Amino acid sequence: MNFKQNEEAVSPVIGVILMVAITVILAAVIAAFVFGMTDNVQTQKNVAVGLQKDGVTLQVTIQGGADVTTLNYLKVTVDGTDYYTVAGNSKTLNAVTSGGLTEKLSVGNVYSIDKMSQTVQKRVVVTGHFSDGHEQMLTDGTL
């Protein structure tokens, strides 16, 4: 008696096993790459800053947040020109609250600049610089 030998079943099983193994290895490599990148992510600082325009005057108010105490200074950019809340820069903001530019930034501090237009809107970006070297955009608006 001649039995017909069929060896086709061996090849598809080995092919499926190899495809599953390759998929698992690729998933492990991609996961190791993605999870290894999360070490460089910095936590976001929590500081609220308000912007208000009154005629040609822009007012920047520090409204609160858990990280206000670590805030060194603010950089206010009006249509590409930078102004600072620290003394010694050629372009500084006017301190509306008592203490001037040398005081530590705190909740309620208000700074102003008379560089706005009554008719043309300007883009305003406020960036906070913190004691740990972190720099973060706090607010962005068109006034």
Residue 100's pLDDT band (boundaries 50, 70, 90)? very low
Mean pLDDT of 13-22: 91
Longest dimension (CA), the chain: 108
Assess if residue 13 is contained within a domain: no
Q: Are 70 and 125 in contact (CB under 8 A)?
A: no
CB contact at 8 A, 94 and 111 = yes
Is the pLDDT higher at 57 or at 6? 57
Is position 136 within any domain? yes
**Number of domain units in the chain:** 1
Does residue 23 sit within a domain? Answer: no
Whether 114 is in a domain gets the answer yes
On whether residue 17 sits in a domain, the answer given is no
| Residue 62 covered by a domain | yes
> In the chain, which ranges are continuous DSSP H helix?
10-36
Confirm if 68 and 62 have CB atoms less than 8 A apart.
yes
92-99 average pLDDT score: 54
> How many C-beta atoms surround the C-beta of residue 64 within 10 A?
14
Q: In terms of residue numbers, what domain contains 109? A: 48-142
- Average pLDDT taken over every residue of the chain: 80
Higher pLDDT: 38 or 73? It is: 73
98 in any annotated domain: yes
> Using an 8 Å Cβ cutoff, are 126 and 51 in contact?
yes
Q: What is the CATH number of the domain that holds 112?
A: 2.60.40.10
